[in-house]
Amino acid sequence: MGPYFDIVIVGGGPAGLTAAVYARRAGRSVLLLERESFGGQIASSPKVENFPGFSAISGAELSDRLYSQAEALGAQIELEEVQSLQPGTPHTVTTDYGVYRAGAVILATGMQHRSLGLPGEDRLAGVSFCAVCDGAFYAGQDTAVAGGGNTAFQDALYLADICRHVTLLHRREEFRADPVLVEEARGRSNITLLPSTVVTALEGTDRLTGLVLKNTATGEVSRLPVSALFEAVGQQPETRVAAALFSLDPAGFLPAGEDCLTSIPGLFAAGDCRTKAVRQLTTACADGAAAALAACQFCRELERRT
């Protein structure tokens, strides 16, 4: 039937790792399952400047600290992909490696990158979602970043230090990034900002060689030769495991309030996958704490009934 844990956490980002810390400190047995890499999206950020206690820290270091803390407290952490979740007493969690039983389950599955939806996007070398991961491959070359938020500008600034030139493309006239990032980018001689511009096609056979652009204000079409395109056009919730269990909100998020309770007893939603107004590192960690404490309370109630 598979081993039993008081709490199984699905997702190894800030919400999931924080939940593991709180649940272990409460004395509960914890299994944390992550399918790819620990730390979530923030692990690829070159600099985090809005997390309390650190004026600046890399996303990778912050992720490592969270992971090490959860592991040191005794959480069992495994790289396994959850394939299905069956609610019950206990809940059953099936992965690509085995089956686990749990008194409570915390869904902290986070977000996944949104793509541009262009032909060749998943085939051409040179198309990437991670400037920190892949930027070094294009040192001294011309690159582009698609997006207008903080991530896009952070990527452009990071690439500007190693690439010959960086062009930032944004579909709207106004950028969504913090003004301080926009001004820093404007001050870099090797960064060009192109608002009201969308990518309509990717050029190249096996490797990206250029972009076809369209100005949304004038309709003008142009071509931009680049060796790489880094996409930072937003994210979408990773809720495939839970989609069969809940009526997701119109944007695909798990319906749960600030208490992280879902409509199914013993199942909790934490972090960016949850319906909420603000999605930041601090709110993800707060969700992890709230979900863990609620899950611990649920486990205590289970024990009183049995």
Question: Catalytic: which of 6, 134, 272, 287?
Answer: 134
User: What is the identity of the amino acid at 41?
Assistant: Q
Residue in 133, 161, 206, 249 annotated catalytic: 133
Q: Under a CB-based contact definition with an 8 Å cutoff, are residues 301 and 266 in contact? A: no
Residue 6 a catalytic site member: no
Q: In what order do the strands lie in the sheet with 210-215?
A: 197-203, 210-215, 221-225
- Strands 191-194 and 165-169 turn out to be parallel
Does the CA dihedral 287-289-292-294 come out positive or negative? negative
* 8 Å CB contact between 193 and 218: no
Residue type at position 133? C
Eight-class DSSP state of 114: P
The residue from 96, 122, 130, 287 that is catalytic is 130
**Secondary structure of residue 24 in the 3-state scheme:** helix
Q: List, in order, residues 6 or more apart from 161 with CB less than 8 Å away.
A: none
Q: Is 163 annotated as catalytic?
A: no
Exposure letters 142-164 (e unless 16+ CB within 10 A, then b):
bbbbbbbbbbbbbbbbbbbebbe
Work out whether the CA dihedral 20, 82, 237, 145 comes out positive or negative: positive
Is 260 tagged catalytic?
no
For the chain, percent helix, then strand, then coil, each to nearest 5?
30, 30, 45
Known catalytic residues are: 130, 133-134
